[in-house]
Structure formats: C-alpha cells, structure tokens
Amino acid sequence: MSSLKNKINEFREKLTVVLEKVGLLTKVQRLLICMVTFAVIGGAYYYFILMPRQDEYTKVQKIYKTQVDMLATYKKRAEEISIYEKKMAETQASFNEAMKALPDKKEIPSLLTGVSMAGSNAGLSFLLFQPEKEINKEFYSEIPVSIKVAGRYHQIADFFFQVLQLNRIVNINDVDVKSKQGGESLEMSCKAVTYMFLEKQALPAEKGQKPKQQIKKT
C-alpha cells in the first residue's frame, strides 16, 4: 500500500515539474507542442486505424462492383435465353403446323384421288394422270403427278381452286395451256406436286454409305 502511494507521489512530482516547465514556455511554443501532439495522434490514428479500414472498404467496393457486373451479365443472358426459347417454341409450333399439311404415306392414294376428283368436278376431261417417281429431299419427299386435261378456261380455273381447298399441300407447277383447233376448248398440262414428311428410318442413305449387314442369331 505504501509503495503505491510512493509511486503516486512520484508521478505527481514529475507532472508538477512538467507543468512548471510548460508554464515557462511562450504561447507560440505551447501552440507548437499542441500541434505536434495532435499531428502525432492524428497520424497514428490514420496509419493504424483509418488506413486499414479504408483499404478494406476499397476491397469491398471492388467485390461489390464485380458482383453487380456479374448480375447484369446473368440478367442479360437470362433475357437472351428467354427470347431464344420463345423463338424456338414459335418455330416448333410453325413446324408442327406445317407438318399437319404434309400427308403421310397412307394418305397419298386418297390425296391423288382428291386431285383427280377436283378435275372431274370442275368438268375437265383427263387425258393423262400419271404419278411419277418420288424425289427424296433432306427431310421430305416430293411426289409429282403429270396431268393433262381438256376443258374450258373457267373449268381449269375451278380445278386450280378446288386443289387449293384440299387439306394437304398440293402445288401446281409447269402449267402449259394450249387452245385446241376448231373450238373454245383448251388443253392444259401441268405437274401436281405434293410432299410427304420422311421419318428418320425412311431418310435417304448418304452417298457412298453401305447398309449395315445384320447378323442372324443362331
């Protein structure tokens, strides 16, 4: 207990000496000491406390900016994917709708019959109705039919109109109309072309590709 009192007394004596010395200084000297003291304290605060926090704040800002840029990129990609999916859905719907207009193999005979009946209903006389060999394309095949008929102009126009009303795609190509001598009758030749969607197994083999031989099990 006595040692503590001694230390306190020593501190008071030293403080008294310092204060007496400070009291002997001029105002300018005191002001300079205060400024130096504040500068040292301020420098220590900036170097040991403020500067580390400022560096950490700068790092956090950079990370935040990076995250914001990444989020903007992801949003843009999400919008592009959404637009792409919408276009794909529209394309698929259009493709499905187009496929409905293409006859399958079972419908070809009835479709050709429909074309023939369209000519008969229009009052035309058939001189030729000859289905030709299928022409295979990438994913569909063309089925052409050579047609030659005789009749009047309005009957030919009616035939074309009835063909357009069929529930499957039939194009009329290579139309050639000639007038017959000695009358108002016309002779028209054309090629009616319908299309059939090819299933994967029915697609034409690539050039130079030989069919695989099947090995029979014994």
pLDDT at 148 over 80: yes
The token pair that represents 33 in the structure block: 């000491």
Of 158, 141, 140, nearest in space to 149 by CA: 158
pLDDT digits (tens, 9 = 90+) for 111-137: 888 899 999 999 999 999 998 998 888
Of 171, 197, 194, 165, nearest in space to 97 by CA: 197
- Residue 189 has a pLDDT of 94
Rounded Cα gap, residues 198 and 17, in angstroms: 111
- Residue 58 has a pLDDT of 83
Q: For a pLDDT cut of 90, what percent of the chain falls above it? A: 21
190 — pLDDT class (breaks 50, 70, 90): very high
- Residue 203 has a pLDDT of 47
What global pTM score does this model have?
0.48
- Residue 120 has a pLDDT of 92
Query: Are the C-beta atoms of 151 and 122 separated by less than 8 Å?
Result: yes
- The mean of the pLDDT values for the chain is 79
Of 209, 11, 194, nearest in space to 109 by CA: 194
pLDDT at 8 over 50: yes
Q: Would strands 170-179 and 140-151 be described as parallel, antiparallel, or unpaired?
A: unpaired
61 vs 190, which has greater pLDDT? 190
Question: Cβ–Cβ contacts within 10 Å for residue 4, how many?
Answer: 8
Mean pLDDT to the nearest integer, 151-175? 90
pLDDT at 2 over 70: no
SS3 106: helix
pLDDT digits (tens, 9 = 90+) for 19-78: 666 666 677 776 777 787 778 888 777 777 777 777 787 888 888 888 889 989 988 888
- Residue 218 has a pLDDT of 35
Report the C-alpha dihedral over residues 193, 196, 202, 206, rounded to 10 degrees.
Answer: 50
- Residue 212 has a pLDDT of 44
The token pair that represents 28 in the structure block: 């300018």
Query: Are the C-beta atoms of 105 and 143 separated by less than 8 Å?
Result: no
Q: What is the CATH number of domain 105-201?
A: 3.30.70.60
Rounded Cα gap, residues 11 and 145, in angstroms: 122
